[in-house]
Chain A
Amino acid sequence: ETGVTQSPTHLIKTRGQQVTLRCSSQSGHNTVSWYQQALGQGPQFIFQYYREEENGRGNFPPRFSGLQFPNYSSELNVNALELDDSALYLCASSLLGGGRNTDTQYFGPGTRLTVL
């Protein structure tokens, strides 16, 4: 069983640029959630994609957008980068609609984004 993978591992961008982060879900999962984790903080929910549709969004501006593909992998796009966007970005995959005990979220290793 393949776990959740994310790319790239690290990324350095400058303010105003755009970035795309990628996530491959665990085999058999149909849902991907994205979280932002600032240094020393707990992760904050950005949004979730279920079967290629957005299934909920946290308190993040529209310049944070996402996609989910037919194979359930996902992208997080951030436009007009700001210094405060520097963080660890985590994706998690799960299986919705499979009954209880199937919707636990399993996390990837994260992408560390630094905005200069």
Chain B
Amino acid sequence: AQTVTQSQPEMSVQEAETVTLSCTYDTSESDYYLFWYKQPPSRQMILVIRQEAYKQQNATENRFSVNFQKAAKSFSLKISDSQLGDAAMYFCAILNPQGAQKLVFGQGTRLTINP
């Protein structure tokens, strides 16, 4: 079974500063994908970033980057130059591409941006 743990229920950051959200996971699979999704108050789950386990290079998408530590089973999300629109629930998730391709989510971290 795969599990995802987000140990920070809430985080806050000043606008324009940098914040890091933590995520650890457990899996017995060698091939898997990791994701960060953002869920604003509108409820729609929006993909932020994706990382494939076989890739050593950390994924980046504009102001969003990850620190993927495979041996430690850690997958943190760094948001640079935080903007008011970044305020949302952030969910870390893992997917095994073999068999039933289900996403297993963590409990989420609520990010508040202070102006």
What 1/0 flags go to B79-115 for Cβ under 8 Å of A?
0000000000001010101011111111110000000
Q: Which of A42, A103, A105, A108 contacts B91 (CB 8 A)?
A: A42
How far, in whole Å, are A104 and B99 apart by their CA atoms in the complex? Answer: 15
Q: Which of A33, A107, A109, A110 contacts B102 (CB 8 A)?
A: A33
Contacts A42-B108, A104-B50; is A35 near B103 (CB within 8 Å)?
yes
Interface residues of A (CB under 8 A from B): 31, 33, 35, 41-45, 48, 55-58, 88, 90, 92, 94, 96, 100, 103-110, 112
Question: 17 other contacts beyond A42-B105, A94-B101, A112-B43, with CB at 8 A cut-off?
Answer: A33-B101, A33-B102, A35-B103, A41-B108, A42-B91, A42-B93, A42-B108, A43-B45, A45-B102, A96-B101, A105-B101, A106-B47, A107-B37, A107-B46, A109-B42, A109-B44, A110-B45
Distance (Å) between the CB of B70 and the closest chain A CB?
Answer: 17
Q: Which of A58, A104, A108 contacts B47 (CB 8 A)?
A: A104
Distance (Å) between the CB of A2 and the closest chain B CB?
Answer: 15
Bin chain B's interface residue count: 20 to 34
Tell me if B103 and A33 are in contact (CB < 8 A).
yes
How far, in whole Å, are A94 and B95 apart by their CA atoms in the complex? Answer: 13
- Give the chain A neighbours of B37 by CB distance below 8 A: 107
B25 interfacial contact with A, CB 8 Å: no
- Interchain Cβ contacts within 8 Å, total number: 65
Distance (Å) between the CB of A5 and the closest chain B CB?
Answer: 11
Distance (Å) between the CB of A111 and the closest chain B CB?
Answer: 10
Contacts A42-B91, A42-B106, A104-B50; is A48 near B44 (CB within 8 Å)?
no
List 17 A-B pairs, Cβ < 8 Å: A41-B107, A42-B4, A43-B45, A43-B91, A43-B105, A56-B100, A57-B100, A88-B43, A90-B45, A100-B52, A103-B33, A103-B101, A104-B47, A107-B37, A107-B45, A109-B42, A110-B43
- Give the chain B neighbours of A35 by CB distance below 8 A: 103
- Give the chain A neighbours of B102 by CB distance below 8 A: 33, 45, 48, 56, 58
